[in-house]
Amino acid sequence: MKRWLIAFLFLVLPAMAQGRDTLTIGITQYPSTFHPNIDSMAAKSYVLGFARRPVTAYDAEWRVTCLLCETLPTLENGLAVRERTPDGKDGIAVTWVLREGLRWGDGTPLTTEDLRFAWEAGRESTTGFGPAEFYRSAYEFTAHDARRFTIRFDKVTFEFASLGDFAPLPAHLERERWRADPRAYRSRTLYDTEPANPGLWNGPYRITAVQPGAGVTLERNEHWSGPPPHFRRIQVRTVENTASLEAQLLAGQVDMVAGELGLPVEQASALMRRTGSRFHVEYKPGLIYEHVDLRLDHPALSDRRVRQALLHALDRPQIVARLFEGRQTVAHSTVNPLDWVHEAATRQYAHDPARAVALLEEAGWRPGPNGIRVNASGERLSFELMTTAGNRSREAVQQVIQAQWRAVGVEARIRNEPPRVLFGESLSRRRFGGAAMYAWISAPEGVPRTSLHSEEIPSAERNWAGQNYTGFRNEEMNALLEALPQELDREKRRDMWRRLQAVYADELPALPLWFRQDAHLWPRWLEGVRPTGHLNSSTLWAEEWRAR
């Protein structure tokens, strides 16, 4: 009997293990490009997390960590040195050393030449890389040898050790294409014309097949020098409709749904109730900040007391409990509680309709006809409340907000627009009629300059550039936003962040709602997935994923 059992296990266990050498993942978006340095989108970050490694990244604990480098540069270890730039500005020279044995998927060693090429391409403005602030600041690149390189920056920021999205590009494959015509490089890069070329990838997996709009197949990269990944093949399937994605999960066509681009938390919770213990779900609070922007030049909303009253009138914990099954983190400022700079003592606005009424009375808004408050001139306390049409959860929240404001005598007239109209016209041209509910995505310790500095208020003179849609002007906030990035002392920075959150909570240029949580669903047999909650997705550590 025992012999039969051993024979059975001998035959069956390897077969089971082999059955789990492929992992199929469902996501709701398809990457618009596979080039690491062109454009930025969550789907690309997720897929490329398997196939390439940046030099540094934020880990699951939201700390900068080395992925391709040996040690993070600091002033103390001498790898970062403050200095003067040739034109006399405060600058910094930062040195990284690449880990030994790094190779591209075709076996070519990954060296500082690949980073030099990425820097050269980024410095050339016609190449068409997205956010170029890094390249504008990094004015000199020096390769000391194949593994050691120094970048000189013309300004000092606390993030000097992080190379962000700056990733090596395979110079042996891409340099000549780029040199031939930098302007056309964007459409000629091998990343998009021949994404299955193994030489493009330096991660534990490499892309082997692409089906535009439908999915990506990745297989083990035999030249990966890190710990070998468990799964032989990863299939990332794009299913934009979340009901269909859920059906594919239940039908066993996809094994897991990525939280970064997956089911809304309320749908995931409902699914878990129906399926019991079939899947494991992990809710990870992220850096997507849902809020209501207020137009500060609106006659009523320009009064801080009115804005404070609006927030006191909202029962955010109740909304989260009822609409999202308690799966969102109520926000009190732009800073996520998981961020080390979060200040718990920041002023909080509890649901307090009586306090809201008192503030509105104090601001001169008295009860009027039909229950809507009016001021001394007889003007109604009424404005438009906009959000992205078709976003069911936002539209549901909007209804509750409208009702809760109505209870204290404030009329919010709902007017929704498709995302491209809301973002491309109403917000960016500041044409929204009072309030707009949407989300910002940021990075750990991301300084919100673009949304809060008065220089970032969009206007015709500035060709509508900038994202300070509320029109917020505050000298102290401006000073903090300018000083924060340059402050290297963590304790001093913490004080500045404390002050920033206090000013935000007092002034309320926008009403904080919550930080969205991601629902990561995976099968019980999968382990090692560590959701991060930010744009450096869990796939950057895919070599740790295992089938039980």
Partner 1 sequence: MAGALILRRLAQIAVTTAILSLCAFLLIGLMPGDPIDLAIAGDPRLSAEDAARMRALHGLDQPLLARYLAWAQSVLGGNFGHSRLFAQPVSALLGPALLSTLELLGLALLLAVGAGVGLGALAALRPRWSGPVQALALAAQAMPTFWLGLLLIILFAVTLGWLPAGGAEGGWRFLLLPVVTLAFANLAAYTRHSAAALTAALAEPHIRTARAKGASEARVLWRHAWPNAAVPVIAVAALDAGALVSGALVTETVFARPGMGKLIFDAVMGSDFNLALLALLVVAVVTMLATLAADLIQRWLDPRLA
* Residues that bind partner 1 in the complex, under the rule CB under 8 A: 30, 32-35, 38-41, 125-126, 128, 130-133, 136, 183, 186-187, 191-193, 211-214, 237-241, 243-245, 247-248, 250-253, 418-421, 423-428, 440-442, 446, 448, 450-451, 456, 462-463, 465-467
Angle ∠(212,215,217) on CA atoms, nearest 5: 115
Cβ neighbourhood burial of 4 (10 Å; 0-12, 13-18, 19+): exposed
CA distance 62 to 116: 27
Q: At what angle do helices 112-123 and 171-180 cross, to 10 degrees?
A: 20
**Do residues 54 and 276 touch, judged by C-beta distance below 8 A?**
no
| Helical (H) or strand (E) element with 26 | strand 22-27
- What does the radius of gyration of the chain's CA atoms come to, in whole angstroms? 26
Dihedral angle, C-alpha 429, 435, 437, 442, nearest 10 °: 60
Cβ nearer to partner 1, comparing 97 with 288: 288
User: What's the closest the beta carbon of residue 326 comes to partner 1, in angstroms?
Assistant: 27
Cβ nearer to partner 1, comparing 185 with 405: 185
CA distance 241 to 225: 38
User: What's the closest the beta carbon of residue 20 comes to partner 1, in angstroms?
Assistant: 19
Residue 272's identity, in one-letter code, is M
User: What's the closest the beta carbon of residue 324 comes to partner 1, in angstroms?
Assistant: 22
CA-closest candidate to residue 291, choices 480, 56, 467, 461? 467
Residue 268's identity, in one-letter code, is A
Q: Return the exposure string of 120-129: e unless at least 16 CB atoms fall within 10 Å of the residue's CB, then b.
A: bbbbbeebbb
User: What's the closest the beta carbon of residue 30 comes to partner 1, in angstroms?
Assistant: 8
Cβ nearer to partner 1, comparing 255 with 456: 456
User: What's the closest the beta carbon of residue 58 comes to partner 1, in angstroms?
Assistant: 14
Cβ nearer to partner 1, comparing 270 with 421: 421
Cβ nearer to partner 1, comparing 107 with 424: 424
CA distance 515 to 519: 13
User: What's the closest the beta carbon of residue 470 comes to partner 1, in angstroms?
Assistant: 14
User: Which residue(s) pair with 31 in the sheet?
Assistant: none
Cβ nearer to partner 1, comparing 51 with 427: 427
Cβ nearer to partner 1, comparing 23 with 360: 23
Cβ nearer to partner 1, comparing 27 with 542: 27
Cβ nearer to partner 1, comparing 64 with 421: 421
User: What's the closest the beta carbon of residue 465 comes to partner 1, in angstroms?
Assistant: 3
**Do residues 117 and 171 touch, judged by C-beta distance below 8 A?**
yes
User: What's the closest the beta carbon of residue 485 comes to partner 1, in angstroms?
Assistant: 12
Cβ nearer to partner 1, comparing 110 with 452: 452
Distance linking the first and last C-alpha atoms of the chain: 26
**Do residues 285 and 515 touch, judged by C-beta distance below 8 A?**
yes
Residues 6+ apart with CB under 8 A from 314: 349, 351, 401, 404, 405, 511, 513
Cβ nearer to partner 1, comparing 266 with 456: 456
Task: Take residue 6 and report the two structure tokens written for it.
Answer: 């051993």
**Do residues 332 and 505 touch, judged by C-beta distance below 8 A?**
yes
Residue 69's identity, in one-letter code, is C
User: What's the closest the beta carbon of residue 215 comes to partner 1, in angstroms?
Assistant: 8
User: What's the closest the beta carbon of residue 187 comes to partner 1, in angstroms?
Assistant: 4
**Do residues 400 and 323 touch, judged by C-beta distance below 8 A?**
yes
